[in-house]
Structure 1
Amino acid sequence: MPISSAFTDQVIWITGASSGIGAALARALAAAGAQLVLSARREPELQALAATVPGGPERHLVLPLDLTATGTFPAAVETVLARFGHLDRLINNGGLGQRGDAADTPLEVDRRIMEVNYFGQVGLTKAVLPHLTTRGAGHIVVVSSVVGYVATPHRSAYAASKHALHGFYNALRAELHPTGVRVSIVCPGYVRTEISLHALDSSGGRHARMDKNQARAMSADTFAARLLPQLAAHKEEILIGGREIYAVYLQRFLPRLVSRVLRRSPKR
């Protein structure tokens, strides 16, 4: 299906839409004719985004959402359905980064990252599932990471949360296939976003530094442009990035080599 028609008038819910990949996807999907539900904690950024994408606030819904507040998800789903009548795609993009050694990171920080990156995504997915399975159609997308395949040093909790997403959504894909609902896992490599700035350090505070690899990576808009054709095709596993993508295949076929390389990785 061509991009020009794949998303026309579809209702697409994007979490983590206030910046980075989420905001770039909102711009690209709105330009492709979609009706958007824009969610994140930062409402002013969502309102500013809705005011600038094609269609404007009249066509799209700003729906602030805290991914740790899973008890609010059923009401959020009802708000979406009351506005649009149905939902075509859920893009679970919200997430929290991490920088810090495992030995120096209190368990509370690990739990916080899992609450956002894993339980938040799974909770919202489960909240929309009854609607999608009743319709017998829909597309659930989760934005993971190359780190979901290759666990790099100083990101232990982040890597754990992304590995957990793969386990859940791979199982869910098989379960949902008879219903007509499709599941895609998107694994970005380095993308130029603010994730490292907002990442948690070992104390639970902000890392507040841009990683060098991210600073010179592709823009979020370039990433979104490369992603849309693969979402239109309902591709199950989507890897987008630079040379770092090869690490996924090396991990599968030459895991000992990857292990030796990772031991020498400098702390960023």
Structure 2
Amino acid sequence: MFKNKVIWITGASSGIGKALALELSNKDCKLILSSRREEVLNEVKLQCVEPKNIAILPLDLANYREMKVIADNAISCFGKIDILINNGGISQRSPIIETSIEVDKKLMEVDYLGTVALSKAVLPHFIQNQTGQYVVVTSLMGKFSSPLRSAYCGAKHALHGFFDALRLEHAKDNIKVTIICPGFVNTNVARNALTADGSVQGYQDEMTENGLDVKIFVKRMIKAIRKEKFEAYIGNFEKFGVYVKRLSPRLIHKLVMRSKVR
């Protein structure tokens, strides 16, 4: 499926995005790697199997009004885009009562508006080609919530609403949407999470530390992309929370309250 495809990955400088780039570079495809950190992206490029098939395109999702120009630049790298993997974003760890509204705003700007703006900028290209696939990395927190992640949960829930609508509107254009919902994955997502005043948490939490190895995660993610799944829940035991929520919202509430997820 991936041979000769052009795949654009946001948030590609670390974590899931970096692991995706390294794994997909084995698939005989061309990659466009984006994040804010151009120097680190170039380091990732050199670790890929065929660096000549990798283009670097820095972007900041917070600058969502600039996405049309960035999308045009991405298309010009290899002449087309076949798959856009919306992986970039930030998390949050703080009680609602203490969290500045500016933190809520930041999460919505980066995780939701940046992703939506970028996807809308690519949409005319997909329509013109009558093909394309959006891959959206949300979270299990986009399906049910847990304490200390209110802004993050809100942004991730919003992504599900938008991309479910996009899938419906553009099925006629052969445009696919695959939503990937990670559980706990051992990356720096917790270290980089924003706290109540907008500062970075700076340390790992136990559940993330013991989460799924990122290399295992991306292999499962790539399998879901290949199968063009509508949604994929990837994690350990926590992924079953999606099904518990469907069965009983009250039960998932009780289970999360009893868990160590804080």
Normalised to the residue count of structure 2, the TM-score between the two structures is 0.97
Aligned equivalents of 1:135 and 1:32: distance in 2? 22
Aligned equivalents of 1:71 and 1:101: distance in 2? 30
SS in 1 for 2:85: strand
Which of residues 62, 68, 85 in structure 2 aligns to 1:68?
Answer: 62
CA 1:186/1:261 → structure 2, altered by over 3 Å: closer, same or farther?
A: same
Q: Does 1:232 align with 2:226?
A: yes
- After superposition, what is the alpha-carbon deviation per residue over 1:158-211, rounded to whole angstroms, capped at 9, x for unaligned? 000000000001111111101001011100111000000000011110111111
Which of residues 140, 146, 150 in structure 2 aligns to 1:146?
Answer: 140
Matches for 1:239-258 after TM superposition, within 5 Å:
239-258=233-252
Which of residues 190, 210, 221 in structure 1 aligns to 2:215?
Answer: 221
Aligned to 1:103: 97
Preserved CA contact (<8 Å) 1:153 1:265: no
Aligned to 1:29: 24
SS in 2 for 1:203: coil
Aligned to 2:74: 80
Preserved CA contact (<8 Å) 2:64 2:109: no
The offset of 1:266, in angstroms, is 5.1
- After superposition, what is the alpha-carbon deviation per residue over 1:29-53, rounded to whole angstroms, capped at 9, x for unaligned? 1111120000000111100000110
Aligned equivalents of 2:232 and 2:43: distance in 1? 29
Matches for 1:32-51 after TM superposition, within 5 Å:
32-51=27-46
The offset of 1:89, in angstroms, is 0.3
Aligned equivalents of 1:171 and 1:144: distance in 2? 15
Which of residues 106, 117, 122 in structure 2 aligns to 1:112?
Answer: 106
Aligned equivalents of 1:7 and 1:261: distance in 2? 39
Instruction: Name which of structure 1's ranges 258-267 and 246-255 shifts more when overlaid on structure 2.
Output: 258-267
Preserved CA contact (<8 Å) 1:74 1:127: yes
Preserved CA contact (<8 Å) 1:40 1:63: yes
Aligned equivalents of 1:262 and 1:143: distance in 2? 22
Gaps in structure 1 of 5+ consecutive residues: 1-5
Aligned equivalents of 1:72 and 1:53: distance in 2? 28
Aligned equivalents of 1:256 and 1:40: distance in 2? 39
Aligned residues: 262
Aligned to 1:194: 188
Matches for 1:86-97 after TM superposition, within 5 Å:
86-97=80-91
SS in 1 for 2:190: helix
- After superposition, what is the alpha-carbon deviation per residue over 1:192-239, rounded to whole angstroms, capped at 9, x for unaligned? 000000000111101111111111112211111111121011111111
Q: Does 1:16 align with 2:16?
A: no
Preserved CA contact (<8 Å) 1:68 1:120: yes
Aligned to 2:153: 159
Aligned equivalents of 2:229 and 2:26: distance in 1? 21
Aligned equivalents of 1:9 and 1:186: distance in 2? 23
Structure 1 vs Structure 2 CA RMSD: 1.1
- After superposition, what is the alpha-carbon deviation per residue over 1:133-152, rounded to whole angstroms, capped at 9, x for unaligned? 11000101110000111110
Aligned equivalents of 2:261 and 2:165: distance in 1? 34
**AA paired with 2:137?**
V
Q: Percent identity?
A: 40
Preserved CA contact (<8 Å) 1:138 1:180: yes
Which of residues 39, 43, 53 in structure 1 aligns to 2:48?
Answer: 53
Aligned equivalents of 1:201 and 1:267: distance in 2? 16
SS in 2 for 1:31: coil
The offset of 1:260, in angstroms, is 2.1
Aligned equivalents of 1:259 and 1:229: distance in 2? 31
SS in 1 for 2:191: helix
Gaps in structure 2 of 5+ consecutive residues: none
Preserved CA contact (<8 Å) 2:146 2:261: no
Aligned equivalents of 2:236 and 2:256: distance in 1? 18
Aligned equivalents of 1:263 and 1:238: distance in 2? 24
**AA paired with 1:175?**
E
Aligned equivalents of 2:91 and 2:72: distance in 1? 30
Normalised to the residue count of structure 1, the TM-score between the two structures is 0.95
**AA paired with 2:152?**
Y
Preserved CA contact (<8 Å) 2:207 2:261: no
